[in-house]
Amino acid sequence: MGFSEKQESLVKESWEVMKQNVPELSLRFFTLILEIAPAAKNMFSFLQNTDEIPQNNLKLKARAVKVFKMVIDLISV
C-alpha cells in the first residue's frame, strides 16, 4: 500500500516544517516512546540501568537528531 500523491505531498510538507526544529522535536519523539513503552529504554545501551531524565541525556539527544535527520533524508529522495 503506497501513498497517494496528495498524501506524499502532505508528508513532505510536514517534514519541511519539522526540519526547522529537529533537535527539540526528535527528543520529544523519543521521550514519548519511553513514556509509552518504558521497556524500550533497554534498546539503548546508554539508557540501560539509569533513571536519568531522557531530556538530560546527551547521547539520547544526539541519537534522536541522527535518526530524524536520516528519516528526513530518506523522505527527501
pLDDT tens-digit profile of 30-72? 889 888 998 888 888 878 877 776 777 888 888 888 888 887 7
Contact of 56 with 30, CB cutoff 8 Å = no
Fold for 17-75, please state it: Globin-like (1.10.490)
What's the CA gap between 4 and 31, in Å, rounded? Answer: 31
What's the CA gap between 5 and 13, in Å, rounded? Answer: 12
Domain residue limits, the chain: 17-75
Residue partners of 41: CB distance under 8 A and separation at least 6: 34, 47, 48
Cα-Cα-Cα-Cα dihedral sign, residues 38, 62, 53, 35 = negative
**Quick one: pLDDT at residue 76?**
65
Per-residue pLDDT band at 26 (split at 50, 70, 90):
confident
**Quick one: pLDDT at residue 56?**
78
> What is the value of pTM for the model shown?
0.66
